[in-house]
Structure 1
Amino acid sequence: MPRWDGIEAFVEVVRLGTFAAAARQLQVSNSHISRQVARLEQQLGLPLLYRTTRKIRLTEAGERYYTHCRQLLDGFRNAETALQALHDHPQGTLRLSSATTFGERFIAPLANDFLCRHPQLDLRLHLTNRQVDIIDEGYDVVIRMGTLQDSSLIARRLCARREYVVGSPAYFTGISQPHSLAELAHHRCLIGSRDQWRFDVEGVHREVRVQGPWQANSGPALLDAALKGLGLAQLPDYYVAPYLASGELLAVLAPFQCRDAGVWAVMPSHRQHSPKVRQFVDFLVDHLPGRLAQATSPA
């Protein structure tokens, strides 16, 4: 199809938001992408994009064309994946995302171990506490924790994860420990990336919005604040286990503890059968529980 290169360039520009990002994704120059899109518009006789110095947006014709072209491109990639599966070994580039600290501590080392077994595979690992868009940002696998929202994505449970509400003995000097979720309103709550804490109430999952004078999108910073007596924090087991064992932190609200927040590998449905995705997720299922168990065992 003579327009194919232009269609692929157009879809990547819209999906990634800039000509530069599309050029990096397709490993060509910015000017090449610009020429391909301009040629496509000329062939169609309609403008597809409004261009400004800061961003691009779709015309009405561009919105309609993008919807159909993206389906076409996804179908082509599905066909490639189906053929790749015949080889039954991972190849190409594995695009992976995870929360920052969890990724640094557990996912990155395991991903590196996996690449040692499959040196023909390339890795693109992005660590962020932002919830990425798996489809639009082009990831093969994203590691997520907690309760998953319903979607068309495929999720596979990797292991269990417990969350604790903790405070230091210094924080509880002169203030009583909370015994109900309602009492959290009377405590200084240290807030991480989310201002909703997860609990289980009589077997039902519940989220409680908390407020406090301190907030940061960093687990280690949150842990440090809790250890220094600045307030209560909700943190997963692999952060707090050694400090609970040493008595530097005290766990509260045990009857409402979220005992299995879960760690999940989430992937687009059309990529779940790709050898690189299937085998990497299998590798995580086999090895991640042991790594977490080591991190949460008393010293």
Structure 2
Amino acid sequence: MAKLPDFEALAIFAKVVELRSFAGAAAELTLSKATVSKAVTRLEARLGARLFNRTSRRLALTDAGQKLAERATQLLADGEAAENEALAQSAAPRGLVRLAVPMTFGVKVVAPLLPEFLALYPEVAIDLHLSDAMVDLIGEGFDAGVRIATLPDSSLMARRLCAMPRYTVASKAYLARHGRPTHPMHLAQHRCLGYAYLSTPGAWHYSNAAGEQATVRPSGPLRVNNGEALLPAVIAGLGIADLPEFIVGDALAAGEVEVILQGWHQREGAVHLVTPPGGPRPARVEALAAYLADKLGRPRRAGLSSA
């Protein structure tokens, strides 16, 4: 297998050529003069040709050195340009952000915020992927994802954007027909509507101010993989559902459904922006995280919990 070129030695050689001095190159590169000399000697040994004729007063390129100098100088310039471009990329927000967001939250909350963000950062583009399924950020090549839950332990980096309360709700018509549960365990006798992508599938966990806890495994006639699809069934009186504020907030405000199990609460989740581990986030991702944290952290609908 062929060895890679000795890029370090070639770059040092190019700097010596540029400054016509081993000492000058060492000073500019913040290396010792011995390190610069060894790099050039290593390159000469590899190429089997002397590159400089050196005296105590004069440094001159040999024929072999002349032929190599132009290529090495171009290599050094290309390397410096690539590094400067990468540094600029990390310093100024630009480039594509592949962002995975739950379907309804993406449509109702995130998408309306994006026009202003893209106007603020015209060199950033967003590829918005909408799905309630838990995507593999690393395996599927996403820069970031929004997760709405109590996050499990994970190697992903997370930034909390805002709180996201949940409400157990039913319509007045349902409660008139089937009665009003006052304790989570009463849900076992009720028609409950399920969401497929709960962090603990098939279980609703409650607690109250006294520290009591209850876990129920509700069942009913409908289960969906998108939370918003439950709302028409709840409004129509088909059953009870547990839904986040961004889905059920308007229906609560309009009186189409009401909160039941007063004094009992599901585990409060939050909205997080998660990114793959390893090193600082790119500037484009950090800018988006800061923007979303600012917008989502502001108080929401009057009468409902805010972040």
Q: TM-score band (shorter)? A: 0.5 to 0.7
Corresponding position: 1:142 with 2:145: yes
Matches of 1:122 and 1:186 in 2, distance apart? 50
Instruction: List per-residue Cα deviations over 1:75-119 (Å, max 9, x = no partner).
Output: xxxx98x94477521112101001001001111222332111112
Partner of 1:200: 207
Partner of 1:270: 278
Shift, 1:214, TM fit: 0.8
Q: Is residue 141–residue 267 contact of structure 1 (8 Å, CA) maintained in 2?
A: yes
Q: Secondary structure at the match of 1:200?
A: strand
Matches of 1:210 and 1:157 in 2, distance apart? 30
Rg: which structure is higher? 2
Partner of 2:232: 224
Aligned length in residues: 223
Q: Residues 15-164 of structure 1 correspond to what in structure 2 (within 5 A)?
A: 83-84=86-87, 87-164=90-167
Q: Is residue 238–residue 296 contact of structure 1 (8 Å, CA) maintained in 2?
A: no
Q: Is residue 165–residue 253 contact of structure 1 (8 Å, CA) maintained in 2?
A: yes
Shift, 1:123, TM fit: 1.4
Matches of 1:132 and 1:266 in 2, distance apart? 11
Q: Is residue 207–residue 266 contact of structure 2 (8 Å, CA) maintained in 1?
A: yes
Q: Is residue 98–residue 144 contact of structure 1 (8 Å, CA) maintained in 2?
A: yes
Q: Is residue 199–residue 258 contact of structure 1 (8 Å, CA) maintained in 2?
A: yes
Structure 2 CA distance for partners of 1:182 and 1:205, relative to 1, 3 Å: closer
Matches of 1:122 and 1:102 in 2, distance apart? 20
Q: Secondary structure at the match of 2:109?
A: helix
Matches of 1:123 and 1:162 in 2, distance apart? 28
Q: Runs of 5+ in structure 1 lacking a partner?
A: 5-78
Structure 2 CA distance for partners of 1:297 and 1:172, relative to 1, 3 Å: closer
Shift, 1:285, TM fit: 0.7
Aligned-partner residue type, residue 281 of structure 2: H
Q: Is residue 159–residue 263 contact of structure 1 (8 Å, CA) maintained in 2?
A: yes
Shift, 1:247, TM fit: 2.7
**Percent identity of equivalent pairs:** 38
Corresponding position: 1:176 with 2:141: no
Aligned-partner residue type, residue 286 of structure 2: R
